Chains A and B, each alone.
Chain A
């Protein structure tokens, strides 16, 4: 690989095009770096920190860090996967994630990623926050109990739909939340439509189409068939 730009990912040479992030280059090479808030269609957000890697011994977010020749990137090491599992556990106890009663179960990237990383327990004490459910829209309901604040709906609504239905606002664990673009704060009072990109971008079970829940039986759902790591790396 003489002329090609490459870096090392867990000891393997990965080619990259200048300007690509480590995540993009890894993805193009079919390598999985765990992630939740990153999506190939949108600009990196860098907030979930699941994609934290070690570049030449220093921690960094692979979704925002540009690939460069000479980088030695550690990805699936025990140290990093331990940190990722802890981050997942923090996300699980921060919200109310009751998979058995969630219609996104089996199609949920948070859940699938936790499976991939062998998370057997949320570990921390639960916060059990009081979060709202919004069923005001005729075709879509919102259950914020499961929100992981990834901002993908914000980006999809702004950049793909040009609507600004969702905006991230507030501060800290108790304040930060999705704000709906209407004076009532209700989705039904916005111009949101079921065909919007934002309606199908949620990696967890917040934004749900009405009347289609549980249609696919247990065993045949997205991540029943293949692990999240395999499906995400092939995206």
Chain B
């Protein structure tokens, strides 16, 4: 198979823990089979900083701040197919459990009123830092998402099955044991 026919794949983690990426690496030696079929664009694997035109984009993590929105939009703009991978991308996951609290109260408690930080520390206002959103959202509430791969993280076998289905042109299907929300 010539280099040119390989599918271009980008991956990133937004408000996630990189656990899904770790699980992805757990496909182990099958990575070599995968690399016969795909090449990586922006991804923690390549350290490419911005996404170019791709066939497939895989997003881990939900959307909790402004930077997440920018990265997600970059992926959506460049990727023909966008996949939400893992619980946080699919439904907000652990970060979204802050959603029943008011963001102002959270910031105040973390930076002003509760102990733990050095004296004189205040809510940071450096323009370099992305501002948090009032609520954490799954990625499908910000851009159109084509496929969803749930799990916290999805097991390596599920990721493998999902990707091989997708690359072979089949609608991904995970049966009992592979489809997990936890």
**Chain A contacts to B: CB under 8 angstroms:** 92, 96-102, 105-106, 111, 114-116, 118, 120-123, 125-126, 128-131, 218, 224, 226-227
- Asked if B138 and A126 make an inter-chain contact with CB atoms under 8 angstroms apart, the answer reads yes
Are B173 and A130 neighbours in the complex by a CB distance under 8 Å? no
- Given contacts A106-B182, A128-B96, A128-B100, whether A121 and B176 have CB atoms under 8 Å apart is no
Find chain B residues with CB under 8 A from A125 CB.
141
B173 touches A118 (CB 8 A): yes
B93 touches A98 (CB 8 A): yes
Q: Using Cβ atoms and an 8 Å threshold, which residues of chain A touch B137? A: 126
Query: Which of B90, B99, B135, B182 makes the CB contact (< 8 A) with A105?
Result: B182
Min CB–CB distance B99 → chain A (angstroms): 4
- A118 lies within 8 A of B182 (CB): no
Q: Report how many A-B pairs have Cβ atoms within 8 Å.
A: 76
Bound: A57/B38 CA distance, A: 48
Q: What A residues does B173 contact at CB under 8 A?
A: 118
The minimal Cβ–Cβ distance linking B165 to chain A, given in whole angstroms, is: 12
Q: A130 touching B100 by the CB < 8 A rule?
A: yes
**Chain B interface residue number, banded:** 20 to 34
B99 near A128: Cβ-Cβ < 8 Å: yes
Which of the residues B84, B97, B135, B150 comes within 8 Å of A101, measured between beta carbons? B97
Contact A121 B96 (CB under 8 A): no
Known: A115-B179, A227-B176. A126 touches B148 (CB 8 A): no
Q: Kindly state the separation between the CA atoms of A218 and B153 in the bound complex, as whole angstroms.
A: 13
- Over the window 108-127 of chain B, the binary record of Cβ atoms lying under 8 Å from chain A Cβ atoms (1 yes, 0 no) is 00000000000000000000
- On chain B, the residues within 8 Å of A114 by CB distance are 181
A123-B140, A126-B138, A128-B135 given; A99·B182 CB < 8 A: yes
Verify B176–A120 contact, CB threshold 8 A.
Answer: no
* B69 close to chain A: CB less than 8 A: no
What is the bound-complex CA distance between A128 and B181, given in angstroms? 17
